[in-house]
Structure 1
Amino acid sequence: MAIAPECDVTFTRLTQVSPDEIIAHMSDPRVAEHMPLLTLHWDHDAVARFVDAKEACWHRDGLGHWAILYRGIYVGWGGFQREGEEWDYGLVLRPQNFGLGWRITRKALAFAQADARIADVTFLLPPSRKHLGAFARLGARFVGETEYDGQRFLKYWLATG
């Protein structure tokens, strides 16, 4: 019996990851290429504010972004965050782990399908993302362009139920 590759992926809280790991991740210019909202310099204070903001989502909504581990190693962060009435799914991987995106997303979407709070999810993608066919294969529907914090994004919607 083959083991599903998603088994190698675990989700934990960002508080369980060394701030130095997050600094190195978020300071990589290859990450910034696809994050138009990434404008600050990442240091220990920035990481503390970031983690506090993500923890506030957990306290407010009972769900938020996770630190993502692959075979026990930090590879990025992401998950579900409440944006108004919608649950938005985001994923920010270290460049050397970009290839794990769909494996992690499949596991996250399985979580969403099992969670009664999440009837559907949205994805806000920067216009720099060019390979979007996998979203259609997932069943996600292009909603249109939207603006968030002064930046333009491509918005997709997916029913999880």
Structure 2
Amino acid sequence: MTPEIRFTRLSDIEQAEILVHMSDPRVAEHMPLLRFDWDAATVAGFVAKKEECWARDGLGHWAFLSDDRYVGWGGFQKEGDEWDFGLVLRPDAFGLGVRIARQAIDLAMTDERIPYVTFLLPPSRTNLRALERLGARQVGEIEYDGETFLKFRLETD
């Protein structure tokens, strides 16, 4: 049976769950900006910052649940005039990425504030078929906080 995927706010998740998730070295493999260890204070600050995005922009990052089990976080964050989509799953849920991304992109397609979505991926991510299946195309490379990322764009209108 296909699991039910739900989106909820990060503030609804036990912070200990997020700490375990973000402390897993397999998660950090493709996150070049993750240059620190997570602790309870880091998680609290992270959740507060993501809630600020919701208050400021009316949209932000969710926690993702699969059959009511926390499997990761991600969503939309306004970067200048662009809406960037990110997805960070627990290793045991990596296979749900395309399904969760598609569900989020479907929401973006109904939101007139979002004419397109951008995705930033580190060059270590060599399997890009999921983005291709979503319809995104590479538009270049950018440097962010001293790291190079591949930039993709998906039209939503």
Task: Say which of 113, 134, 151 aligns to 2:130.
Answer: 134
Q: Which amino acid aligns with 2:28?
A: A
Task: Say which of 83, 95, 102 aligns to 2:79.
Answer: 83
How far apart are residue 137 of structure 1 and its match? 2.7
**DSSP 3-state at the match of 1:41:** coil
> Is residue 109 from structure 1 mapped to residue 105 from structure 2 by the alignment?
yes
Percent sequence identity over matched residues?
Answer: 62
TM-score, normalised by the number of residues in structure 1 = 0.94
Partner of residue 100, structure 1: 96
Partner of residue 73, structure 1: 69
Distance 2:94 2:64 in 1: 12
Moved over 6 A (4+): none
Distance 1:83 1:100 in 2: 25
Q: Which amino acid aligns with 2:139?
A: V
CA-based RMSD of the aligned residues comes to 1.3
Show the 5 A alignment for 1:136-151. Answer: 136-151=132-147
List gaps (5 residues or longer) in structure 2.
Answer: none
Aligned positions, number: 157
List gaps (5 residues or longer) in structure 1.
Answer: none
How far apart are residue 83 of structure 1 and its match? 0.3
Q: Does the 8 Å contact 2:102/2:134 carry over to 1?
A: no
TM-score, normalised by the number of residues in structure 2 = 0.96
> Is residue 44 from structure 1 mapped to residue 40 from structure 2 by the alignment?
yes
Distance 1:24 1:137 in 2: 30
> Is residue 122 from structure 1 mapped to residue 112 from structure 2 by the alignment?
no
Distance 1:10 1:124 in 2: 24
